[in-house]
Amino acid sequence: MSKISVIIADDEPLARERVRSILNDEADVEIVAECADGAQALKETQKRQPDLLFLDVQMPRLNGFEVLEALWQSQALSPSPIPVVIFTTAHDEHAIRAFEFNALDYLLKPFTEARFKISLQRARARLEKSARPADPQLKGLLSQLHAPVAGGGRILVRSAERILFLKPEEIVRVEAAGNYVVLHSGKEQHIIRDTISAMEARLASAGFMRISRSVIVNLACIREIQPVGSGKYSLLLKNGARLDMTCSLGDLQARLGEV
C-alpha cells in the first residue's frame, strides 16, 4: 500500500503539533497539509484529495461539520473521493454522543499517543479495505447534514471570495436559471448549480412554495395576493417585488394557512 496522505485541520497550533509529532513516527504516513481554519481545510482537501483528514470540530470560518457538508455538495458537482475523517475535539462526552455513531472515530483532547494510534489503525483498516469511496458511516453523517430537515437546513454558497451558509429564512425567493438557481437574499443574489425541483424539495419544510415553473417563494415574505384578470393572480412581496403565479389560489391559501 502506498503512503497514507494526511491533512491536519485545527485552529490550535499546539493541537496540530501534537498530531504531527505522532504521525512523524509512522513510516506509512505523509502529511500533505496543515490548516488553521475550516475554509482552508476545505480548500486543501479539495485540492490534495488526502486519504485521511484529522478534523477539529470547532474552527473559525467553517466548523468541522460545515467542512464535511461543503465536501459533500462539491462531490455532487465534481465527483471525488471524500477522505476518511477522524474528529479531534475538546467537546465533553455529552456533545460527542451526538455524532459518535456516524464518525469513523474521534479523539477527545487531550488524547494519549496510545489512543491516537488506535484511531490511526482504524483508518488504516478502512483504507486497506478500499472503503474510502463508500464509507457507510461517514456517508450516514453527511446524509444527515445534507438531507432536507425541518427548517430546510442551510444552503452552501461558494465563490472565489467566500463561503456562505444561507439560512432558509434569509432567502426571499428562488428562481431557475438553466442548470442553476438564483437565491434572492436581501439585496444580494447568489447563484448555485442546482435544479429548481431539488431546491423545492429541500425548502418545502421551511415554508417555501413553488408558485410557477421557475419560481419558489418564501411564504413569510408575501404581502398581498392580487388578481390580474381572467382568474390569474400575482404576488406582491414585502420587499416590493411582484411575481406572477401559475399555481392554484386554493393551494397557495392552504399553504399560507400552515405558516
Tell me: do 160 and 124 sit in the same domain.
no
| pLDDT of 228 | 87
Q: How far is CA 184 from the centre of its chain?
A: 19
Residue 17 is part of a domain; what is its CATH number?
3.40.50.2300
SS (H, E, C) the chain: CCCEEEEEECCCHHHHHHHHHHHCCCCCEEEEEEECCHHHHHHHHHHHCCCEEEEECCCCCCCHHHHHHHHHHHHHHCCCCCCEEEEEECCCHHHHCCCCCCCCEEEECCCCHHHHHHHHHHHHHHHHCCCHHHCHHHHHHHHHHHCCCCCCCCEEEECCCCEEEECHHHCCEEEEECCEEEEEECCEEEEEECCHHHHHHHHHHHCEEECCCCEEEEHHHEEEEEEEECCEEEEEECCCCEEEECCCHHHHHHHHCCC
Residue 165 is part of a domain; what is its CATH number?
2.40.50.1020
Residue 16 belongs to a domain: yes
Q: Give pLDDT tens digits along the chain (259 positions).
A: 589 999 999 999 999 999 999 999 999 999 999 999 999 999 999 999 999 999 998 888 888 878 887 887 766 555 667 888 888 888 765 455 445 445 678 788 889 999 999 999 989 988 887 544 445 555 555 555 445 444 456 787 766 556 677 889 999 999 998 888 999 998 888 888 888 998 898 898 889 999 999 999 999 999 999 998 888 899 999 999 999 999 999 999 988 887 6
Tell me: do 140 and 241 sit in the same domain.
no
Q: Which of 83, 111, 145 is the last residue of a domain?
A: 145
Cell of 226: 392580487
Tell me: do 193 and 242 sit in the same domain.
yes
Tell me: do 95 and 192 sit in the same domain.
no
Residue 150 belongs to a domain: no
| Host domain of residue 226 | 155-256
Tell me: do 189 and 78 sit in the same domain.
no
Tell me: do 161 and 132 sit in the same domain.
no
Cell of 99: 455524532
